[in-house]
């Protein structure tokens, strides 16, 4: 047995994170750990990786008692954790991050040449020549940083590799390279414990599964023996017949946001589209295609060099600040909730009301009672799991943090919502709640522009879809005029012919 857990318990204040979990992991297997956000998955991996101790229970590695006091102890026992929320040192180089604590040395001094060679060996697993050992991590994209995080665990030569949402910032070829690497690790006899919210992803790499719900172990078995619907029922404690809420019966209204010739080479080239009131317009495309640059340009974070923007018939300046965009009625949800989407050290109530605090203030003074009521109402609509609106946002699970970011947009009452990967790293139950909020915004007559890498999400939520490729945007067409194949063809450079209507996924 590579790793055995018996009766693992962990409590954070009044919150029970783990309630007597028993698990066994064998060499040469990929074991999927699945469940909703807040189910205890990341907490369990953090305990195994020595980041904090359990309150009760026992662990053993290869039959030996195991109780690490730090991540360094865990690495010494052959256990490495790849975090969902990146834990890199941005001011250091790629090589320094990959080899942290395992630097090659000569005569007591770090050997830079040997460090570079070792880093290159590990980086070759991903075939990403632009990620150079001497590059500073702060200068890399989010996807490239995720590759560095994964390579650090590989360099540790661990026998048990714990992966917490390792594909959350990856796409396309990098995902497939990671899956190929996982298969090679399994063939070498290593154990991989893999957390993911994408069931189709889990089925590509995992042999067995375990479902956690509310900190308890509810099911384990071979993946081939269960259906996705059975897994979802285990995860949420109920059957979810339809992941996506029904589309509104009415037709979209007049144009809310009209963009003409928006340009900012090399990221954006002559982008034109419109989003109507009551419509959800989806933007598909590969990572780096310009999707994020587009929404950031619209919100004033990446000022374009040319083009025109009109909001409800009124021309807006293209070089406005985000503060001006908020005042004009635009709301923005970043793809990076930890880095820029939330102020994690502030209370939930502050995060929800931050962009419209005037609703809970009088004569320039903030009313905590009014702020608490408004925040609680927003939390209840999205079913945010928290004791109080005034607890620090960082104490919530990743999915509940994302719902707080979404709740802020609802409280802001923006007319146009710019959503960049609104359900990244979110469990299936939380996705349903976010989808319901988005559909409710459209029903209220707001316009929603949604960037997503997850095609079933685009087909299930959007009224029309357009595809970004190398900074250029295809014409938007009704969702029924696309298929997943034609979207992919447009994204990688094919002509994307008009195909037979596709049944929306979900």
pLDDT in tens, 472-484: 999 999 999 998 8
Cα 7 to Cα 457: distance, rounded to the nearest angstrom = 37
pLDDT of residue 503: 35
Mean pLDDT calculated for residue range 187-210: 89
From first CA to last CA, the distance across the chain in angstroms is 39
pLDDT-derived band at 496, boundaries 50, 70, 90: very low
Query: Which residues, 6 or more positions from 462, have their beta carbon under 8 angstroms from its beta carbon?
Result: 280, 281, 282, 450, 479
pLDDT in tens, 86-106: 678 889 999 998 888 778 888
pLDDT of residue 500: 33
pLDDT in tens, 317-328: 888 899 999 999
Cα 70 to Cα 49: distance, rounded to the nearest angstrom = 8
DSSP 351-400: HHHGGGGGGGEETTEE-HHHHHHHHHHHHHHHT---S-TTSBGGGS-HHH
Q: Is the dihedral of CA 338, 342, 347, 349 positive or negative?
A: negative
The more confidently predicted of residues 278 and 233 is: 278
Please, what is the average pLDDT of the chain? 86
Cα 421 to Cα 292: distance, rounded to the nearest angstrom = 9
Mean pLDDT calculated for residue range 282-296: 88
Cβ 387 vs Cβ 130: under 8 Å? no
Could you tell me if residue 176 is left (phi over 0), alpha (psi between -120 and 50 degrees) or otherwise beta? alpha
What is the pTM for the complete model shown?
0.64
pLDDT in tens, 341-400: 899 999 999 999 999 998 998 888 999 999 999 999 999 999 998 889 999 999 888 889
pLDDT of residue 505: 33
Cα 433 to Cα 134: distance, rounded to the nearest angstrom = 43
Flag whether pLDDT at 497 surpasses 70. Answer: no
Instruction: At 262, give phi and psi (nearest 5°).
Output: -65, 125
| β-strand pairing of 79-82 with 160-164 | parallel
**What percentage of the chain reaches a pLDDT higher than 90?**
47
Q: How far is CA 501 from CA 262, 317, 480, 498, 504, in A?
A: 30, 39, 5, 9, 9
pLDDT-derived band at 58, boundaries 50, 70, 90: very high
Cα 106 to Cα 449: distance, rounded to the nearest angstrom = 55
């Amino acid at each position: 047995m590579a790793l055995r857990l018996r009766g693992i318990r962990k409590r954070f204040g009044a919150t029970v994170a783990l309630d007597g979990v028993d698990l066994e992991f064998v060499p040469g297997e990929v074991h999927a750990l699945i469940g909703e956000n807040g189910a205890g998955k990341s907490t369990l991996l953090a305990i195994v990786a020595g980041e904090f101790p359990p309150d009760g229970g026992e662990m053993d590695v290869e039959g030996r008692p195991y109780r690490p006091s730090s991540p360094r102890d865990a690495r010494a026992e052959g256990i490495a954790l790849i975090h969902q929320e990146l834990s890199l040192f941005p001011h250091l180089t790629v090589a320094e991050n990959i080899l942290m604590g395992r630097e090659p040395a000569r005569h007591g001094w770090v050997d830079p040449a040997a460090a570079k060679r070792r880093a290159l060996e590990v980086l070759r697993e991903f075939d990403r020549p632009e990620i150079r050992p001497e590059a500073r991590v702060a200068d890399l994209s989010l996807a490239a940083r995720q590759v560095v995080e994964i390579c650090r665990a590989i360099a540790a030569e661990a026998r048990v590799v714990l992966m917490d949402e390792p594909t959350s910032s990856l796409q396309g070829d990098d995902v497939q390279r990671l899956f190929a690497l996982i298969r090679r690790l399994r063939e070498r006899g290593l154990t991989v414990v893999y957390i993911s919210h994408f069931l189709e992803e889990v089925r590509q790499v995992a042999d067995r599964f375990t479902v956690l719900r509310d900190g308890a172990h509810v099911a384990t078995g071979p993946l081939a023996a269960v259906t996705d619907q059975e897994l979802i029922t285990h995860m949420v404690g109920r059957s979810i017949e339809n992941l996506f809420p029904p589309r509104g019966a009415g037709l979209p209204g007049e144009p809310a946001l009209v963009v003409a010739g928006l340009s900012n080479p090399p990221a954006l080239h002559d982008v034109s589209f419109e989003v109507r009131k009551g419509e959800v317009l989806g933007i598909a495309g590969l990572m780096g295609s310009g999707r994020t640059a587009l929404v950031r340009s619209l919100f004033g974070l990446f000022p374009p060099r040319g083009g025109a923007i009109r909001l409800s018939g009124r021309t807006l300046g293209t070089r406005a600040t985000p503060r001006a965009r908020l005042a004009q009625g635009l709301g923005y949800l970043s793809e990076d909730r930890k880095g820029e989407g939330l102020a994690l050290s502030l209370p939930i109530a502050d995060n929800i009301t931050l962009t419209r605090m005037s609703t809970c203030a009088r004569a320039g003074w903030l009313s905590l009672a009014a702020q608490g009521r408004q925040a609680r109402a927003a939390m209840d609509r999205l079913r945010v799991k928290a004791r109080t609106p005034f607890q620090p946002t960082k104490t919530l699970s990743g999915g509940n943090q994302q719902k707080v970011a979404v709740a802020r947009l609802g409280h802001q009452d923006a007319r146009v919502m710019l959503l960049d990967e609104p359900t990244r790293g979110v469990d299936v139950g939380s996705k349903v709640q976010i989808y319901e909020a988005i559909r409710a915004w459209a029903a209220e007559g707001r316009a929603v522009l949604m960037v997503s890498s997850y095609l079933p999400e685009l087909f299930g939520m959007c009224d029309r879809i357009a595809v970004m490729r190398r900074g250029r945007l295809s014409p938007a067409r009704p969702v029924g005029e696309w298929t997943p194949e034609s979207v992919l063809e447009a994204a990688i450079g094919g002509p994307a012919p008009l195909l037979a209507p596709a049944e929306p996924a979900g």
